[in-house]
A and B are shown apart, each in its own frame.
Chain A
Amino acid sequence: MGTSVFYFVAALSVFFSLMVIFSKNPVHSVLYLIVTFFTFTVHYILLNAQFLAVVNFIVYMGAIMVLFLFVLMLLNLNKENEPLKSNLVKIVGVIAGCCLIVTIMGSLKATSVSDPVVLTNPNLGLLKNLGKELFGPFMLPFELSSILLLTAMVGAVLLTKKEKV
């Protein structure tokens, strides 16, 4: 079977991400997004990035998507009440997207990297290896990211707090 697993999962990724942006109901979008992220987790496993697969599964699918869903439900937005953009805007958007992909592909052709991705070090994506990396050369950014998360938390609390009138 070999590489066919990758192509199958890739096709699923593309399909579900298209569903994300084309479904009318935002709740459906979130659900499709969760599926998309699941396919990404599979990709990580295929690349033997086990730590990332786990983190993606827990943080993205578990935390972030639940947050989205939570907000949608809280604001009662699970209706298809989104006023549609004009077709012109949609066409323009799609054309712009196509342009983007064409230019990216064009750039890729110019660089022409086409080696197969082969894992030479099986331990690369393992937690032990990444942990050494994180607490070694990336110590400072790692610590700073904790401050970032703290700031985000404070910010979110402050923003959503009802102002006293």
Chain B
Amino acid sequence: MGNLTHELQGVPLNHYIWLSAIIFTIGVVGVLTRRNAIVIFMSVELMLNAVNLLLTAFSVHNNDPSGQVFVFFIMALAAAEVAVGLSIIVMVYRNTQSTDINVLNRLKW
């Protein structure tokens, strides 16, 4: 396997950044255009993963395992975030019968 992976290497670092930036932006656009709280949540997960990928790429490029450790931490954090976030959404749905974020426009003043 070592040979195979080695053969697959050599992609310019910029292209990893491009890929991450594009995925990240797709996440941003999702957050901006959708109204369903769960979909927004998923877009946030997309953004997180884009960052994860970039961290891994840099970690390999710099031969530094810390980057991958950080990815691990981000995954732990994402798991916690999803658990809490989804329970909030469940609560909101229970109270408003909807997951539309525009219903939550009382969060003002």
Contacts and interface: CB of A to CB of B under 8 A. Distances in A.
Interface residues on B, range: 35 or more
B78 to A, nearest CB: 7
Contact of B33 (A49, A56, A85, A141): A85
Interface string A77-106: 100001111000110111011101100110
B20 to A, nearest CB: 9
Interface SS majority for chain B: helix
Contacts of A59: 75, 79
A72 B8 CA distance: 38
Interface in A21-79: 21, 26, 29-30, 33, 36-37, 40, 43-49, 51-52, 55-56, 59-60, 63-64, 67-68, 71-72, 74-75, 77
Given A40-B52, A114-B12, A85 B35 contact: yes
Given A13-B23, A20-B43, A159 B91 contact: yes
A89 B6 CA distance: 45
Contacts, number: 258
A55 B36 contact: no
Contacts of A155: 83-84, 87
B33 A90 contact: yes
Interface SS majority for chain A: helix
Contact of A21 (B9, B16, B33, B63): B33
B77 A117 contact: no
A92 B36 CA distance: 18
A60 B49 contact: yes
A165 interface: no
Interface of B: 2, 5-19, 21-30, 32-36, 38-39, 41-43, 45-46, 49, 52-53, 56-57, 59-61, 63, 65-66, 68-69, 71-73, 75-84, 86-91, 93, 99-100, 102
Listed from nearest, the 9 A-B pairs whose CB atoms lie closest are A93-B32, A152-B80, A21-B30, A97-B29, A159-B87, A93-B33, A156-B87, A156-B83, A101-B25
Given A115-B13, A130-B69, 8 more contacts: A20-B46, A104-B24, A117-B13, A117-B16, A118-B61, A121-B63, A133-B66, A152-B79
22 contacts: A7-B15, A17-B26, A21-B30, A26-B39, A33-B42, A33-B46, A40-B52, A48-B60, A55-B75, A64-B82, A82-B36, A96-B29, A101-B25, A104-B25, A118-B61, A124-B60, A124-B68, A125-B56, A130-B72, A134-B69, A145-B77, A159-B84
